[in-house]
Amino acid sequence: MTAADYVFWVFATATVVSGAVVVFARSLIYSAFALLFTFFGVAGLYVLLGADFLAATQLLIYVGGILVLLLFGVMLTHRIYDLKLRTEKTQLGPGLIVAAGIFIIFANAALITEWPTVGREPAPTTKEIGRLFLGEYLLAFEAASVLLLVALIGAAMIVRRKKDA
């Protein structure tokens, strides 16, 4: 095994184990912090796949934005001091069966298929991604900006108090 292989196993293990902690943890705060390590692990996998821009985006948006937003959600919907940040789990048996079945099907498909082994060699991607955004994918790029604006206004409208409506 080369050094890159070891790094892959470290990131893959960190991702999957902390993903399991997200699902199985008793406390919401533990779930949120395990989600932090999952996002870091996925960013590491992006680096190994040669996606430098996407790894930085993952850290900035997921860790810096979405995780902070989720922590706000945890703290605003619970009384943080009463130590009752427990979350219930129901239907654990059927859920485990469904999830294990899905994993076995996908892992089997990934193992028995003959995948191509060549593809793109790792190279800096930022310039090329920017060119694709403002060229081939310009319409989707503009639609995404409109979507973000709509989400911003919609979120503010939904949480506003209805007194002066």
Interface with other proteins in residues 89-128 (CB under 8 A): 89-92, 94-96, 98-100, 102-103, 106-107, 110-111, 113, 115-120, 122, 125, 128
Decide: is 152 part of the binding site for other proteins (CB under 8 A).
Answer: yes
Among 50, 56, 59, 63, binds other proteins (CB under 8 A): 50
Tokens of 90: 């129901």
87 lies in the site for other proteins, by CB under 8 A:
yes
33 binds other proteins (CB under 8 A): no
Q: How far is the CB of 156 from other proteins (least distance, A)?
A: 8
Regarding 40 and contact with other proteins (CB under 8 A), the answer is no
Q: Compute φ and ψ for 86, nearest 5 degrees.
A: -80, 150
Q: Closest approach of Cβ 164 to other proteins, in Å?
A: 16
Is 85 in contact with 27 (CB distance < 8 Å)?
Answer: yes
Q: Does 134 contact other proteins by CB under 8 A?
A: no
Q: What is the DSSP letter of 82?
A: G
Residue 23 near residue 62, CB atoms below 8 Å: no
CA–CA distance, 101 with 116 (Å, rounded to integer)? 26
